[in-house]
Amino acid sequence: MARHTPFHERTSVLNTTQLWSHWAGYLSAQRYQLSEKFEYFAVRNSAGMFDTSPLYKYRIHGRDAETFLGGLLTRDIRKCRPGHAQYTIWCDDDGYLIEDGVVIRQSETDFLLSAAEPNLAYFQDRIGRLDVTIDDISDEVAALALQGPKSREILTKLSPEIESLRYFQTIETKIGGAPVTVSRTGFTGDLGYEIWVENANALALWDAVADASDGYGVLPFGETALLMTRIEAGLVLIDVDFSSSRYAWTDADRTTPLELGLGWMLRSIDDNERPFIGRQAIRRELAAGSRWHLTGLLIDWKDWFNLYDRNGLVPPKDHLPGAYESILYDDAAEPVGYATSLMYSPMVQRHIAIARVLPELSTPGHQVNLEVTINHKWQQVKATTTQMPFYSPPHKTA
């Protein structure tokens, strides 16, 4: 039976649609309102509350915790000081991506790592003789995200220290009487926070945030609105934009950090002091070049219009992310890449997609043709490569 998150007593009442999906064995609201788009606008224009409790959460601690994570994670954990968080990834020996996640460093020797998929066995099997303990606290800790331009103002009412929290900083504080960890992180590409709390205090936290939000037009939002915001934010998603190398059957189904636009995580790859899993393979890739490069795509609005119009249709502007892959071609009809996340973006006012293209097309401004199926025929619409994120308001990092 699907389990309930610690916020379920509240979310089950708020979810007027009673539409739920399963996420890590938990019921997770697809949308709370009849209009997921209205929830999306709450995030973009006010703030939204998202129950992100189903994330897997690992407490990784012990004298050697930094050394352990330094060898496991691709991004240099030594650069993450206590009170900070890092978006990070871990790879296999061949330099293929296993997963991504966020790690919060609570002290020199204490880390909280969250990820969408289970990784406990994989992590524990790599501890070896190091002094490290990993506790799977997934079922003990709840997580609530408050995302959107009004989130700081609202949370500051509950804990004044939050006002000065910088992008990817974290603090230990109290909200609604409950001890919490607040990180200025999120998956929406907006100003936003994630609040980590013991299950027993979850409802008190929810109620405190909901009360402080009163009058601001804040709404709970579900997975659909979250997925819209993450595409605009240019954030890749496991099982949509990439698959874990642990469960891929072929290398075609695997992705390297460089291919996924995460090269910026590799700044200290030449530092011999920190060997990590996949390092040698990634260095070889850096020298030899990658198969693909990640890019954003802006679909030509006029061409999109004309294509559908010529086919006798009203051009759809569907904000729901498409759950399919579309092939990209050059003008000679040769395949040059593939788009993994396609949607109509209300902020950009055109269709956008996250895609991978051949390295020579990776810089912004290249034109490609995206395949779409209209009237049971494969047809093509013009698109231009562009830098991501598609939407990045100044308040995100300010």
Partner 1 sequence: MANDRTYDAIIVGGGHNGLVNGSYLAKAGLKTLVIERRHLVGGAAITEELYPGFSFTTFSYALSLLRPDIIHELELVKYGFKPLLMESTFAPMEDGNYLLLGQDHQANIAEIRRHSKHDADAYDQYSHDVNRVCRAIKPLLDNIPPDITSRDPEELVRMASLAQHMRDLEPRVLHNAVRLLTGSAADFLDDYFESEILKATLSSSGIIGTKVGPRSQGSGLVLLYHYMGEHDGDQSSWAFHKGGNGGFTQVLARAFQGFGGEISLESPVARVITSNGKATGVALEDGTEFSANIVVSALDPRRTFLELVDPRELPSDLVENINRFRFQGTSAKVNFALDGLPKFPALGDRADQFRGFTNIGPSLDYLERAFDDAKYGWYSQRPYIDACFQSTVDPDMAPPGKHVMSGFIQYAPYDLKGSDWDTEREKFGDTVQAVLESHFPGFGDLVLHREIVTPLDIERVVGLSEGNIFGGEFLAPQMFFFRPAPGWNQYRTPIEGYYQCGSGTHPGGCVMGAPGKLAASQILKDAKP
Q: Which residues in this chain contact partner 1 in the complex, by CB under 8 A? A: 33-35, 37-38, 41, 45-46, 150, 214-217, 301-302, 305, 314-317, 319, 344, 346-350
SS3 270: coil
Residues, the chain, total?
398
Neighbours of 314 (CB within 10 A): 8
**109 or 306: CB nearest partner 1:** 306
What is the maximum alpha-carbon separation in the chain? 67
Check if the beta carbon of residue 368 is closer than 8 Å to that of residue 297: yes
Nearest approach, Cβ of residue 124 and partner 1 (Å):
45
**125 or 214: CB nearest partner 1:** 214
Q: Rounded CA gap, 28 and 193, in Å?
A: 19
Q: What is the bridge-based pairing of β-strands 56-61 and 293-299?
A: unpaired
Nearest approach, Cβ of residue 319 and partner 1 (Å):
7
**38 or 168: CB nearest partner 1:** 38
Nearest approach, Cβ of residue 348 and partner 1 (Å):
6
Please report, for residues 7, 231, 239, 297, the alpha-carbon distance to residue 234 in angstroms, rounded to integers and kept in the order given.
28, 5, 15, 10
Nearest Cα to Cα of residue 358 among 389, 335, 332: 335
Nearest approach, Cβ of residue 97 and partner 1 (Å):
32
**45 or 124: CB nearest partner 1:** 45
Nearest approach, Cβ of residue 349 and partner 1 (Å):
5
- Using the 8-state DSSP alphabet, how is residue 73 labeled? B
Nearest approach, Cβ of residue 309 and partner 1 (Å):
8
**26 or 32: CB nearest partner 1:** 32
DSSP class per residue in 223-241: HHHHHHHHHHTT---BTTT
